Amino acid sequence: MDKEWKIKYGDYLLHGDLSSATIIKNENFNHRLFKFRCFDEKRYWVDWIKGTIFINSPKMFNDPFDCLINISPETRKQMLSEATVKFLEQKVKLSKIDYNRLNFADDVLEASCVVLEQHGIKVDRELLNKNLRSVNFFEKHYDPFLRDKLKVSCFSETNDSILMWSHYTNHHQGFCIEYDFSNDEDVVNLLFPVSYNIKRYMMTPQDLNSNKWFIPTVLCKSPEWAYEQEWRYINALNPDSFDVHPAENKPAILLAPNSIKAIFLGAEFIKYHGDYLVEIKRLTQALNIELYEMHFHDQEYRLIPDIIS
């Protein structure tokens, strides 16, 4: 895909301009993506080939920075101010003057002391500071959302990355699915490319009032991961809105018919799972899905697909 639009897209994300990022994404997305999978003998592979996509929590991802919120000093100040107001509301009846003093204070802790003293409450400043700092607004409201409620599924623009086959298919023993999302508008609306940048997205005060504050955080990663050419399906809906796989008891989405165009078996698949080849061929033929096997090139460090007839 054209790198120029990806650069613009990344700039929009870093500046929190989700509308422009979405527009440029929609203008350049060709609807075809790949997903790497390990082969399991619990037969979940059948569900994948039939068009089920399982969705995970970001807490399962292997990048320690993944979905790790980075908060600007201004945002931290606003969070502390909001937490302080809630704390004081439990102690005294705040007046309009009190609210203004707290909301516009350069030092919200000092302002809190003044407010409490004006209401006749003796203040232990050190203890108050400790109590207010312990009100971790972020931990209570934002981190649990990203780690538990947000659901993500990861895709790639490529199916021939040696590293991807090594990392995500148990050393080339698994398979890769090629999707065409042309008929899955609901999925496309929630699909976004990952932006690779040395700078992390910094949460702003404006994000506190947005219902999409989490999207840039989920979509920005270090350039060290750029080889993955990743896209992410991001859904923050209530878990009850998803289908649930009866065996795994985890959320999933069911694709429109004919969304899967091809299955690529890893270069080591037949060596370790060859007993399943006949069944896989029968299933893919019934679903009109092309079946390939990846091979190690004889003279170059690359993988090449051969169709299985």
DSSP string, 68-101: ---B-HHHHHHHHHHHHHHHHHTTS---HHHHHH
C-alpha 27/C-alpha 186 separation (Å) is 16
C-alpha 244/C-alpha 238 separation (Å) is 13
Q: Which residues make beta-bridge pairs with 117?
A: none
Q: Confidence band (pLDDT; 50, 70, 90) for 1?
A: very low
Other Cβ atoms less than 10 A from the Cβ of 282: the count is 10
Query: Rounded mean pLDDT of 235-262?
Result: 74
Do residues 11 and 199 lie in contact, with contact meaning Cβ atoms separated by under 8 Å? Answer: no
Q: Are strands 251-254 and 52-54 parallel, antiparallel or unpaired?
A: antiparallel
Query: Rounded mean pLDDT of 199-222?
Result: 86
Please name the residue that has the structure tokens 């120029």.
4
C-alpha 67/C-alpha 87 separation (Å) is 28
Q: Which residues make beta-bridge pairs with 221?
A: 196
Phi-psi region of 22 (alpha: psi -120 to 50; beta: other; left: phi over 0): alpha
Do residues 44 and 249 lie in contact, with contact meaning Cβ atoms separated by under 8 Å? Answer: no
How do residues 8-27 score in pLDDT, each as one tens digit? Answer: 999 999 988 999 999 999 99
SS3 54: strand
Q: Confidence band (pLDDT; 50, 70, 90) for 136?
A: low
How do residues 57-82 score in pLDDT, each as one tens digit? Answer: 887 788 988 888 888 888 877 777 87
The pTM score is 0.84
Q: Which residues make beta-bridge pairs with 56?
A: 152
Do residues 253 and 239 lie in contact, with contact meaning Cβ atoms separated by under 8 Å? Answer: no
Please name the residue that has the structure tokens 């780690």.
147
C-alpha 88/C-alpha 101 separation (Å) is 13
C-alpha 139/C-alpha 69 separation (Å) is 10
How do residues 138-190 score in pLDDT, each as one tens digit? Answer: 555 666 677 677 889 999 999 999 999 999 999 999 999 999 999 999 899 99
How do residues 292-308 score in pLDDT, each as one tens digit? Answer: 999 999 999 999 999 99
C-alpha 123/C-alpha 197 separation (Å) is 46
Beta strand segments in 24-162, E: 32-37, 52-54, 151-156
Average pLDDT, the chain: 87
pLDDT reading at 44 higher than 90? no
Query: Rounded mean pLDDT of 246-264?
Result: 83
Residue 214 CA from chain centroid, whole number: 9
Please name the residue that has the structure tokens 């350039």.
223
SS3 136: coil
